[in-house]
Amino acid sequence: MTAPGTNGSAKEQLRQALIAAGIDASDERIAQLLPAYQGLLAGAARIAQLDLGETEPAVIYRLPSPE
């Protein structure tokens, strides 16, 4: 994941991401989704700056206890 770039590069990145996800990547949809996608990229960049150390995710797979 790259940091948020220019509007143009974010647009192209969004187009590729939509195609990979099997979602309509028309210019109309890209215009609709671009602000939210830029928010997604900004959030990703902020999380990437954090040192999460050895913190494990809150969702951990647990094997069911034997009966």
Partner 1 sequence: MQATTLHDLSLAEAAAAVRSGEVAPIELTDVMLERIERLDPTLNSYITITADAARTAARAAGDAFRRGDVLGPLHGVPIALKDLFDTAGVRTTAGAGLLHDRVPVRDATVTARLQAAGAILLGKLNMHEFAFGVTTANPHFGSCRNPWDVSRIPGGSSGGSGAAVAAALCYGALGSDTGGSIRIPASLCGVTGLKPSYGRVSRAGVLPLSWTLDHVGPMTRTVTDAAIMLNVIAGHDSADPASAGIAVMDWTANLEADIRGLRIGLPRAYFWEGCEPGVLAALEEVAAVLRAEGAEVRDVEIPDLALAGLAFPPIISAEAAAFHQRWLRQHPGAYGDDVRERLETGALYPATQYINAQRLRRIVTEGFLTTLTSVDVLLTPATPVTAPALADTVVATPNPLTRCTFPINLTGLPALVVPCGQDGAGLPVGAQFIGRPFAEDTVLRAGRAYERVTEHHLRRPGVY
Size of residue set near partner 1 by CB under 8 A = 28
Residue written as token pair 């040192």: 51
**Shortest Å distance, C-beta 59 to partner 1:** 5
CB 4 within 8 Å of CB 37:
no
Q: Pattern 3-42, binding to partner 1, x per CB under 8 A?
A: -----------x--xx--xxxx----x--xx-xxx-xx--
Residue 37 C-beta: closest distance to partner 1, Å: 6
Evaluate whether 10 touches 18 at the Cβ level (below 8 Å): no
